[in-house]
Structure 1
């Protein structure tokens, strides 16, 4: 077999391995996405909040609604004032809505229901991050590249070698000192 045929065969084998690794990666990615959908579904379908959490959430949304209604009333008053000839600038309208939005979001975000939903979301996202990390490490490994574990192991071995080298240097210094005396 000529060198060019051997190189071509090796190249084809490497490309085939890379294609297999990419295909495995795509399949694992699809599985991870399906797991995310399942996790979201489980997080919100299977967890029935306690009555006090639901009540607090509803009260928070009620307070937010009141804030919006107060803003609408204030906007109506400003519009009436402008129609009667008073000098009402557009920034006043903007400020009313910005302040109202800020106050309404505070009302909703301060509820235990919002905290509970965010807690579930963070937990789900952390689980998904772990799954994505595992898929990434598997893909990297299949492509013949060093994984995080491989790099950490090399680092630990390097530290151990440095420690041993330091011990040997100290022993050698003691031997040299003993010879000189």
Structure 2
């Protein structure tokens, strides 16, 4: 009689679960690497478009420091997986990536190139908002609806009328007082 080894269903289920978890970790790692790659491309494009040589150099140095943080996190993760095997908690791996992402972004955001680009972006956004507001005001005015400008003007006129009325009431009170004294 030949001895046949069968794997219990619970162990097969566990093996499938661990394989699935490992595949998900690899997929997550690849997604993180892809995100880093996209970040690098976007950062390089943005730097080359709107910065002078000094800021560009500082921006590249900031990115290099951020890249070093990412690579150290990848090494830490690989070491942790090698040391602990399947006992590595997905939460621990997530924490490593989140921590390294925060540190990497600090490196990038601390450069004058990032500050300059952020300033330019905010300025562009404010100009766009102003143009949209003006367009909305002119559209409302063309439709015969009160605009913010119209409401302010009415409010200013109302305040002026109240001021004048108060002045007239004071003069009238003085005239009435003078008539009563006679």
Instruction: Give the alignment's TM-score, normalised by structure 2.
Output: 0.69
Q: Which residue of 2 aligns with 1:71?
A: 73
Paired with 2:97 and 2:47, the residues of 1 have a C-alpha distance of 35
Unpaired runs of 5+ residues, structure 1, are 1-43
Unpaired runs of 5+ residues, structure 2, are 1-45
**Cα displacement string for residues 138-181 of structure 1 (whole angstroms, at most 9, x for unaligned residues):** 11011111122211111111111000000011011111111222
2:118 equivalent to 1:121: no
Q: Which residue of 1 aligns with 2:174?
A: 174
Which runs of structure 2 are paired with 1:28-39 in the superposition (5 Å)? none
50, 54, 57: which one pairs with 1:55?
A: 57
Q: Which residue of 1 aligns with 2:83?
A: 81
Paired with 2:82 and 2:157, the residues of 1 have a C-alpha distance of 78
Q: Which residue of 2 aligns with 1:36?
A: none
CA RMSD of aligned residues (A): 2.0
CA contact (8 A) 2:63 2:108 kept: yes
Relative contact order, higher structure (CA 8 A, sep 6+): 1
2:156 equivalent to 1:156: yes
CA contact (8 A) 2:48 2:56 kept: no
**Which has the greater radius of gyration?**
2
CA contact (8 A) 2:62 2:110 kept: yes
- How many pairs does the alignment contain? 136
Paired with 2:157 and 2:48, the residues of 1 have a C-alpha distance of 46
Q: Which runs of 4+ in 1 moved over 3 A?
A: 44-48
